[in-house]
């Protein structure tokens, strides 16, 4: 079992930055693909970014050039650094872990409870 607890969300003005964190407990992230998804009110949960192997990453088009996913093996934590935030980035951000890289929610077994990110205009 892997327990994920996201943190670092909050309120930020457009153009600002936030870093959300996803520490794992129960077992390490080694061997897992870890992804960030987000869900805005009234919308489906959507893929944002993922990381697997040592540092292979993949981003949704909406995140490319603005967001960076990274992992700290010593802290067993995955981060999502978000820069140049836009109001349309407002959503609950979820961390998820699975065995295979994928942009689909069904591919991920373990999920955190989410952290709210609100970007004001």
pLDDT tens profile 62-118: 999 999 999 999 999 999 999 999 999 999 999 999 999 999 999 999 999 999 999
How far is residue 68's CA from residue 30's CA, in Å, rounded to a whole number? 19
Tokens read off for 63: 């995140």
Phi, psi of 80 (to 5 degrees): -130, 110
User: What's residue 1's pLDDT?
Assistant: 85
Phi, psi of 106 (to 5 degrees): -65, -20
- Note the pLDDT tens digit of each residue in 17-58: 999 999 998 888 888 999 999 999 999 999 999 999 878 999
């Amino acid at each position: 079992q892997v327990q994920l607890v996201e943190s670092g969300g909050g309120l930020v003005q457009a153009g600002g930055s936030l870093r959300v964190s996803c520490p794992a407990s129960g077992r390490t992230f080694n061997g897992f693909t870890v992804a960030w998804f987000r869900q805005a009110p009234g919308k489906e949960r959507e893929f944002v970014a993922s990381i697997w192997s040592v540092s292979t990453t993949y981003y949704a088009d909406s995140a490319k050039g603005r967001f960076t996913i990274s992992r700290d093996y010593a802290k067993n934590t995955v981060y999502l650094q978000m820069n140049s935030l836009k109001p349309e980035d407002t959503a609950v951000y979820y961390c998820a872990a699975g065995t295979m890289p994928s942009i689909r929610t069904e591919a991920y077994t373990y999920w955190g409870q989410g952290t709210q990110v609100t970007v004001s205009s």
